[in-house]
Structure 1
Amino acid sequence: MALIEKAPAKINLSLDVLRKREDGFHDVEMIMTTIDLSDRIELHSLDEDKIEISMESRYVPNDERNLAYKAAHAFKKKYAIKTGVHIGIEKNIPVSAGLGGGSTDAAAVLRGLNRLWNLNIPLDELAVLGATIGADVSFCVYGNTAIARGYGEQIEVLASPPPCWVVLAKPNIGVSTWTIFNRVKINELYHPNTKRVMEALYEKDFHKLCQYMGNSLEPITSSLHPEVSQIKQAMMNIGAPGVLMSGSGPTVYGLVEHENKARRIYNGMRGFCEEVYLVRLIG
């Protein structure tokens, strides 16, 4: 019997890098929310004690380098599970895009194995385990809308954003998160106003959210990949009221209140890059 788990992508409404830690990681403050663009994870128990991954993507490894594999391995080790698992991944989220594709797959595997093997482990406990796999996995275990602190493992659930549409545009490049963070110079960074973004969420104020959302990493990624700035400017010119790069990039998104306008912006952006999506917020 197969068990299906949905793995939704995330966007950053705010991303601030606060300081570099002694362990080489950075302390961050990130407000993230989930969107209706999802990978599909299918899990089957195996009699043999092994982990298998099947996936049709030439950009993602299907071995122990895959975060979904790491999640299954960590789960089995933590809870002393001797049963094996086959993980089928249907990729719909762009790879190396700043949308948390690998992290959300890992989180879906943790949630799915918990259900598959009827262990009833609380989400809080799964989120702690997720932090050992990747910085965004803890958030993705919960989904919805939250602020992540520390290196991403400290999660506080927030009010959901006002309902709106999201236009995503990804240039034909991949961005390494490690490469971008390696270029961070704290004393030269732009810092978004995280407090105002949180206020906008609790007030359900769409225009305030658009005004204050920001990303410390956007200038760094844009300096390496000018396409990011070009796509952002194009989306603003077409009329998206709130436009930002998600994560370490390169995907740029626009928040739009009304469907008709969102579809116009979506159609306009298809002339700038191949990968354009129109989705709803679900966080």
Structure 2
Amino acid sequence: MARFLSWEHLSREQIVAIRAAPKQPGAPTARHLLQQYLSEQLGEDQLRNNIVLDLFAYTLQQGQAWGFDDERLSCLFGIIKEVHTASVVQQLTIERSFAFFKDTLINHSIQRPPFSTGVFSQAEMRSILDWVLDTYYRHYKLYQYAFTSRVTMSVSTYHPTSLVETAPLLLPPLAEALTEEQHKQQLDEQQHQLKEQQRAEEAAARAAAEAAREAALQEAYEASLPDDIKERVMLALEREVAYLKKKMEEQFQAQQAGLIARLAQLEAAAKPAS
């Protein structure tokens, strides 16, 4: 069963509004109405949208010039829209696109339900065929170019010599090469040094963090003490320091006196012997 395109893309009310558009001053043009009716089907590329709207507007204008009624005008619009959509989406060659157009036009020019319907007469079919050949298919390659997706390629070139790996200028003699055991030992030493360095860095980081924590605690402790307590603590520390200093001086003097007395005894014991 064939698919009939009358009222498929434009309803009777929309066709009537398009016919009346040029007759009403200040009203939207037929092209603006088409843009409004097809807003959900248009893409984001404004250039392509303008090309499609021009094609459809000229199609309706030509149909009105032929004196088509609303049904035939809607059917003509549907045929052109279906052919253009299939051509750009499937990237049809001009031969396949024209074959699709011809079959679609014939399905709407012969009264043989449910396989075809006689919307257009034989003379109208020939007029449509000649007009489409002289307009759409005359510029078919331009339509295909405008609606072909752009692909940007990045190409890098390499000279053959750049693909060849060159050896270093000075190669060490084989006699100086390391054995597998020496190489393994060297790698183990490097890993050991790396681990030791990491441990030292971690220990230094922990010590710095602990010092910062103690300093912060000391600062917080001192900030929490009242001023009078701080003064009393300082006085007590000063007294304790003075007491310790005095005691150390007394011990030093006592030790010095003991040493002097011991020396005197040794000297006294040494005189009779001489």
Same fold (TM over 0.5): no
Name the structure, 1 or 2, with higher relative contact order (CA <8 Å, separation 6+). 1
**Rg comparison, structure with higher value:** 2
Structure 1-normalised TM-score? 0.24
Structure showing the higher strand proportion among its residues:
1
